[in-house]
Structure 1
């Protein structure tokens, strides 16, 4: 577990599948505005268990690191992950996150981004983390900027969301030990 001031990050276990499902169902419409298309099986207990198994394997293979974002009282309010982890001469990963709509604007996402960035640099020894955000998602861009990311450019028609190829503002942060 990674402890923060207001929240904690914890790797998912199979026992977390019901809570993950609750979070996804309660925020389905909100999350779908920013996420890749998901099959109906995603919104089942079995679907969430499958995802957790894949994430556990991804961690074991040093390919991805998925955390739940929990309140200090233990309520799952979001997810945050490093994915497409590349080693060798690149030493980087991509960052993604979702926060329960009811908990947006409280600073939890910024804290989670800072915590996972610290973990990525100190524990995983990554050199760089990248994130892509749709230009109209100003709240998410603010989160990343507050967490120390810098705007680097625009990836045109980068990710298919709700059947449409969407542009993404690219942001990145470099491990301060490597600068």
Structure 2
């Protein structure tokens, strides 16, 4: 478990599936503005349970690390943060992504979560670089990353298909200061 003043992060357990599906359903319209449209199967308890099991296996295989963002005061799930696409060898690299419940945006929780995951990635996983891609109009997400120490590197033209359309992304990255 990774903790800060207001939140903690931990890998999902199968017992979290009910809360996870509720989180996804309550934020469906909000999240689909920034991510792919998901089919109805995604919004089932069975799918969420399987995604938790898949995430556990991916972490064991050192490929992806998917954590829930929970409030310290009531253990309520307010978000998801993920280190994914881990590449080892001469790269020591991954991507970071996150989703925060729309009701909790603007309170600093995502910045706290990103800082915790960056620390984990550099100190425990010994990664050298973490990259993020954000649609240029998503100013809030860009600010989160900059507050967490990421720097802008450029625009990746039409690199992610979102809701059936190829979208540009601002590329931001952070380098392990110990390397």
Q: Which runs of 5+ in 2 are unaligned?
A: none
Q: Which runs of 4+ in 1 moved over 2 A?
A: none
1:163 aligned residue: 164
Cα distance between partner residues in 2 of 1:158 and 1:36: 13
Cα distance between partner residues in 2 of 1:38 and 1:53: 19
2:148 aligned residue: 147
Cα distance between partner residues in 2 of 1:76 and 1:62: 24
1:48 aligned residue: 48
Please say if residues 36 and 159 of structure 1, whose CA atoms lie closer than 8 Å, have aligned partners that are also in contact: no
Cα offset, 1:37, TM superposition: 2.6
> 1:177 aligns to what SS in structure 2?
coil
Q: Which runs of 5+ in 1 are unaligned?
A: none
Cα distance between partner residues in 2 of 1:27 and 1:5: 25
> 1:154 aligns to what SS in structure 2?
strand
Q: TM-score when scaled to structure 1?
A: 0.98
> 2:178 aligns to what SS in structure 1?
helix
Q: Does 1:36 align with 2:36?
A: yes
Cα distance between partner residues in 2 of 1:58 and 1:177: 26
2:18 aligned residue: 18
Q: TM-score when scaled to structure 2?
A: 0.98
- Write out aligned runs for 1:35-114 (5 A): 35-72=35-72, 73-114=74-115
Please say if residues 77 and 103 of structure 1, whose CA atoms lie closer than 8 Å, have aligned partners that are also in contact: yes
Cα distance between partner residues in 2 of 1:155 and 1:50: 32
Cα distance between partner residues in 1 of 2:156 and 2:40: 29
